[in-house]
Every structure is written in structure tokens, then in C-alpha cells.
A and B are shown apart, each in its own frame.
Chain A
Amino acid sequence: MKRTTKAVLCFLAMAVFAASFGYAQPKTNLLVSVWAGPHADLQKRVVADYKKDQVIIDDVDYGNLKPKQLTSFQAAMGSGNYDVVWVNSQWMKEYTDAGYLLPLDDLIKSAGIDMGIYAKGLLDGCVFNGKTYGFPTFAQTLIIAYDSEVFKKEGLKVPTNAEELVSVAKYFKQKGSGIALPAKQGTAAVTLFSQLLFSDDGYYFDKNGKLDMTSKEAVYAASIYDQLVQNAIPGVLAWHHDETAEAVRMKNAPIGIIMSGLANQNADPDRSLITKSVKYAPLAGKNGKAAATNSFWVWAVAKNSKNTKAAFDFASWMAGPVAEKKQTLADQQVSALNALTQDPEILAKAPFLPVVMEQLANGKIDPPLANFGKLKAALVVSLSEIATTDAKPADVLAKLQQSMAGVDFSK
């Protein structure tokens, strides 16, 4: 009898064990491409909470991120290519035109996701030809960060427009320091120029869609950029965002134009000497209005993913309220979720958020034109010329306008 009972129990145990393997939903392996850095480290910690599938994060430095994503999009399905990609909003047009991303409308509908929870200005940057290709997240804009103790000691007022900003920079330059700003030949300088341009209600094109880099707003923005560089602390011509933010954090510059995504480090006592004294102000134009170049990131699904449904589930979870709040609290990322910008818990942790939101509300997106990259590349060099030579900003922009004469900006 005992033997029979043992045999039955063993059989039952084996059956349960086998059934648990047979009926358990097998987990899918998802390969996710993100930009390497402190935020990617946080994303990895957040991803650990996602139990539905096995997620492998491939974090790549910014310079190699796009080339690696492009290579993955060309690969055959199931050949180790990315399932989910974290895409810079400025690459979205190129990716969707090339057919690399999966339109998500049907999946959004069947999952019952209300896209109204996202800031409209950012969500619009994910929609092309009426189709939604991703979830916006991690908005960034250039803001002013300053050491309030130094300002108090020097009896200075916080600049409220572009000319006041130049005056403050001049004041500190005469004192032996200056303003910190990203002036290395690269896209960071273009972002700064564009923000100054947008803040004065200017744009790259006129009302008829023709390139207008010689408008009075563009010339004014370039001239402010030039004056800021002339009154900057030594070395800014080799600086991108990281070095600029570090100069402010380490008290090398009493004021700086920093990327909001790096502002959270100012409160970190291990990295910052201005934890108590740092304050923020909008980067305003001539008349005090401050507008961002709406730059953000998008969680999107690669069209050549073998597991599009699982990839969509992960992307929507990552851009959803729970994961977004966790990231915002941890590193003060600026979320695209409307509700989080009013959350008192988050506002207490991210004192720069009101400034960022003001600029994003006035912000504009770079035009989704096939040849806009050509203008941007030329602008990179023109701004470097303005910063490093005696050439007049108006002349440099006129030369730029002329060099773009044959480029088609109609589509």
C-alpha cells in the first residue's frame, strides 16, 4: 500500500512539474537599443521590474547609436536585430520614411491605451502620415543654471532676456570667468541657436516654406550666440553638453546654458559643488519669451522585430505612468506624461521642471523634411565659423543661405 501511495504521489508530482513547463507562457527575449549613460543605467534598473518578457538592454554611446540602429534595421528578421529602439525625435522622420518602424495604431487600440496622457507637442513628433510610430519620453531643452550665491554676492539680477544674459556673461568675463555654453562644432550649438531663434518667434523657413536664414530673428539669434561665446569661460569651443554642465556644477562658471537632462546632477553632492545654491531660469530671447527646440526620445518598435506584440507591450509599459514616474523620481527626466509635470512629489525633486515646461510649451519641432539634415550640417559649420572667427553673423548666415540654394526643402 505504501509503495502504491508513493508511486501515485511521485506520478502526481511529475505530472504537475511537467505541466508547469508545458503550460507556462514561454518568455520572449527582447533586444532593446538605448543611448548609453546614467539614464540607461536607470532604465536597466527599471526594466528589472518588467516580468512579462526577458529584456536585454544594449546601451550604445550617442555617436554610435544611430549607425547601430540603422545597421540593425537592415538585418534579417530574427538575426539578433533590435526589437525595441529608443529613437531621438530628430531621427523619426528618416526612420519612418525608410519603413524601419512599425505603425502602432492597431496595437494601441487593442491595448486600450489613451494617448491623450502624453503632451500633444511631443506626441505630434511621433505621428507621421496620420500613423503613430511610438511613445514620447525624456524631453530635453537648454536652460540657464546659475549659482545664486554668486549672483547675490555680486548683486546681479537673473537675466530675463537675451541681452541681459549677454550683459551677465560680460560681467563675469571681466571678472575672469564667463558663461559656460556648448560651442564645440556640433549639434549642441545648433540647438542653442535654434532655441534663441524660436524664442523670438523665428524659424528656419518663411511663411511660404522657403529657407530664410537671413531673417532678422535668425541674424539676432546668431549675434547673441556670437556674443555669448566671446564672453564665455576659456575652453567652451571644445565643449559639448557634458563639459558645459560640469563647468557649472564644479563652480568653474557661475552661470551656464545646460541641457535639462543633465540638471539632476547639480543636486548630487558627489558630483556638484552647487547643490544648495543652484537655481534655474528660462533661456529667453529678445522679448523675454523662452521656447525650446522640442527634442525628446521615442520608444518605438522595429518593423523587422520577430516579436512585434511583445516589443509593443514593453515599449508601452516603459512609456507608461509607473515606469515613467519611477525614472522621473530617480533622475528627474522630463517625462512626456502630462500628469507627471503637476505631481508635487516630482516637482520637489526637480526644481528645474517649471522652467523646462515653460520652454517646451512654447517650443517648436525641427521640420520633418528629408533634406533638413543638410541644413543642420551646414549650420553646425556656420555656427563654428561665427564662434571662432571675426566673420559677422549676418555674413555667415547669408553665405549659408546661398550654399543651400539648390537644396529641395519642399518634402
Chain B
Amino acid sequence: MERGDLLPLLLMLPTLLVVFLVMVVPLLYGFTLSLFDVGFGKKISAQAFLGFSNYIKFFSDPTALKAVFNTVSFSLGAILGDLVLGTLCAVFLLKVPSFLSSTLRPIVTIPLLVSPVVVGLTWRYIYDPKGILYWLLGLVGLGIEDFPGVTSASTALLSTVITHWWQVTPFVIIVVTAGLLAIPEELYEAARIDGAGAFSTFFKITLPQLTKVYTVILLISGVDTIKVFDIIYALTGGGPNNSSISLSIYAYSQAFEQSDLSYSMAISFTTMAITFLIFGIPFIRHNLAKEGRG
């Protein structure tokens, strides 16, 4: 081996070491914990070894399965809304006069700067029967009976999704705007010459050109929403009747309320596996296909 071959490895070594210590070691430790019966104050011992019992327990635990359903529903609903609303807003902001868009764009990005817990607490007041939402609904003759918000098992999860849209749509607006600006103007000119209408231009030129942008958003939002904790915790605490409990909230409650660190770790690793299955594999396949290896 030449001396030059080792140099890149040596240069990367500090980074690899940091990655190994702060990512790989805690992951391995967490996985090890999930194989034992360990809580706060209890140490890992041969007697506490459970093997994969915590993972088997997960798939027969009705609350865990409900949490999986809720988490996936939240994730899909949140991403779908983010993409639709974000795209519509981004297109709208590009179509309006520039003085208006340059004023509106910073305003609509404000929610992105707010911490999710603060967003959750703010929306708790919005959803309060004396809050602004029910005041607005009252103007059109609707009330809490028509949309019970966070107080009903049927609408609690949807309420958290709406809150998520409010916060994350600005991120999609920013990214999609960048994508829209990158579309060559010639394509639109050609469409106009060919007599294409606004809708066919949007669906046949704009949307296909945004595919790469959507892939990035899907990956970032996907990972972000699957591990959702703060918004739901602040808004509903997982209720009513566990109707909005997410995997992260369930893992948290097992660790810090039940002192069952091992089961909490098993839930967390299962969440990681679900994230990988839903978002990781399609992303890898997409990349491989792009490189012509798929």
C-alpha cells in the first residue's frame, strides 16, 4: 500500500472517531439495553437478560400498535398537507407582485422560527373553547360540537396535524420556491407557444420539475414527523383515550413514568426501523435508480 493511500483515511479518522463515539456507541448501548430488563437504578446483569422479548411484547401491546398507527397517520397527513399547502403558497407568492411577495414571504416563515413546544402551547389556547378558532367558527355558526378539536378522540390527531401544517408549511414554501426559481423559463415559454393552460402547465411542467425537491422534503419531513413528540405532548399529551399517542410519547412514558428503559429502547428502535422502511428504503432505491444501478 502506498503512503498516499493512507492519507485520506488518516484525515478522516478524527471525524470517524467522533461519529463512532457519539452515534454508534450510544446506538449499540441503547440496543443492548433493549435486550435486558433495565430501569433507573437497575443494572445490566445476566439475570436481567430478556433477549428479544421486549420486541415481541411490542407487537402484542395494543397501545404500542395504536401508537404505530397514530404515528404513521400523523406522518402521512402532515407531509401531504405540507406539500400541498407549501406548493400552493409558493406558487401564489411567485405570481403576486414582487413587493407583495417580498413582504409576505418573511411573514409566512415566522412559524418556522418558533419552538415546537411553544407552537403546541400556543395552539392549546387557539383550540380552547374561548380561543380564536371557536370565535372564528362561531362567525359561521359552528361551535365545539361541530369540531371538538383536541377534546375528542375523533379529531385530536387531526388537530395536531393542522398545528404541524401551520409550523412546517413555511419550510416547504422556502424549498419549493427555490425549486420553482430553478425551472428554466424556456419551458414555460414553449408551453405558452403551444397554447397550454395554467393547469396543464402546472401539472406537466412545474410538478415534474419539482420531483427532486419533493424527494428532499419527503425525506426530511418524513424522519421529522415519524419521531413527533413536542407538538402532540404539548397539545394533547397523547389523549383523549390515547387517540393521539405517538411512538415517541409512548417511549418517553415507558422510560420516565414507568421506569422501563429497556422497553422504551425497544420502542425507539422499532420506530427507527419503521422510519427506515417507509422513508429510507424508497430513498435508497431512488438514488440507486438515479445512478443507473437500481
A residues with CB within 8 A of B: 63, 66-67, 70, 73-74, 94, 97-100, 184-186, 233-238, 243, 252, 373-374, 377, 381, 384-385, 387-389
Question: Given the interface contacts A252-B130, A384-B242, does A234 sit within 8 Å of B258 by beta carbon?
Answer: no
Least distance between B288 CB and chain A CB atoms (Å) = 41
Contact of B153 among A63, A184, A186, A389 (CB under 8 A): A389
**20 A-B contacts (beta carbon < 8 Å):** A63-B233, A67-B255, A67-B256, A94-B41, A97-B41, A98-B41, A99-B41, A186-B239, A233-B129, A234-B129, A237-B150, A238-B150, A238-B151, A373-B258, A385-B241, A387-B240, A388-B151, A388-B152, A388-B241, A389-B153
Instruction: Confirm or deny: B40 has a beta carbon within 8 angstroms of a beta carbon on chain A.
Output: yes
Instruction: Confirm or deny: B71 has a beta carbon within 8 angstroms of a beta carbon on chain A.
Output: no
Closest 5 CB pairs of A and B: A98-B41, A185-B239, A237-B151, A235-B129, A388-B240
Are A184 and B237 closer than 8 Å at their CB atoms?
A: yes
B residues with CB within 8 A of A: 40-42, 63, 124, 127-130, 144, 149-153, 233, 236-242, 253, 255-259
**C-alpha gap A185/B63 in the complex (Å):** 14
Complex interface: chain B residues within 8 A of A388 (CB)? 151-153, 239-241
Known: A235-B130, A236-B151; 17 extra A-B contacts, CB below 8 A, are A67-B255, A73-B40, A94-B40, A94-B41, A94-B259, A98-B42, A184-B237, A234-B144, A235-B144, A238-B151, A373-B258, A373-B259, A377-B253, A381-B63, A384-B240, A388-B151, A388-B153
Complex interface: chain A residues within 8 A of B253 (CB)? 377
Least distance between B16 CB and chain A CB atoms (Å) = 28
Complex interface: chain A residues within 8 A of B42 (CB)? 98
Complex interface: chain B residues within 8 A of A374 (CB)? 258
Complex interface: chain B residues within 8 A of A385 (CB)? 241
Question: Residue on B with the closest CB to A252?
Answer: B130
Question: Residue on B with the closest CB to A250?
Answer: B130
Are B41 and A185 closer than 8 Å at their CB atoms?
A: no
Contact of B237 among A66, A186, A234 (CB under 8 A): A186
Complex interface: chain B residues within 8 A of A233 (CB)? 129
Contact of B41 among A66, A100, A235, A236 (CB under 8 A): A100
Question: Residue on B with the closest CB to A391?
Answer: B241
Contact of A185 among B40, B236, B255, B256 (CB under 8 A): B236
Which of B239, B242, B255, B256 has the most A CB atoms < 10 Å from its CB? B239
**C-alpha gap A234/B148 in the complex (Å):** 9
Are B240 and A237 closer than 8 Å at their CB atoms?
A: yes
Question: Residue on A with the closest CB to B256?
Answer: A67
Complex interface: chain A residues within 8 A of B150 (CB)? 237-238
Question: Residue on A with the closest CB to B144?
Answer: A234
Complex interface: chain A residues within 8 A of B127 (CB)? 238
**C-alpha gap A226/B234 in the complex (Å):** 25
**C-alpha gap A387/B128 in the complex (Å):** 18
Which of A100, A185, A236, A384 has the most B CB atoms < 10 Å from its CB? A185
Which of B149, B253, B257 has the most A CB atoms < 10 Å from its CB? B257
Complex interface: chain A residues within 8 A of B241 (CB)? 185, 381, 384-385, 388-389
Which of B41, B128, B130, B233 has the most A CB atoms < 10 Å from its CB? B41
Complex interface: chain A residues within 8 A of B41 (CB)? 73, 94, 97-100
**C-alpha gap A1/B152 in the complex (Å):** 93
Which of A63, A98, A234, A385 has the most B CB atoms < 10 Å from its CB? A234
Complex interface: chain A residues within 8 A of B256 (CB)? 66-67, 70
**C-alpha gap A94/B40 in the complex (Å):** 9
**C-alpha gap A70/B130 in the complex (Å):** 38
**C-alpha gap A373/B42 in the complex (Å):** 17
**C-alpha gap A388/B236 in the complex (Å):** 13
Question: Residue on A with the closest CB to B244?
Answer: A185
Least distance between A368 CB and chain B CB atoms (Å) = 14
Are B258 and A185 closer than 8 Å at their CB atoms?
A: no
**C-alpha gap A94/B151 in the complex (Å):** 33
Least distance between B148 CB and chain A CB atoms (Å) = 8
Are A238 and B236 closer than 8 Å at their CB atoms?
A: yes
Question: Given the interface contacts A74-B40, A98-B41, A252-B130, does A373 sit within 8 Å of B151 by beta carbon?
Answer: no
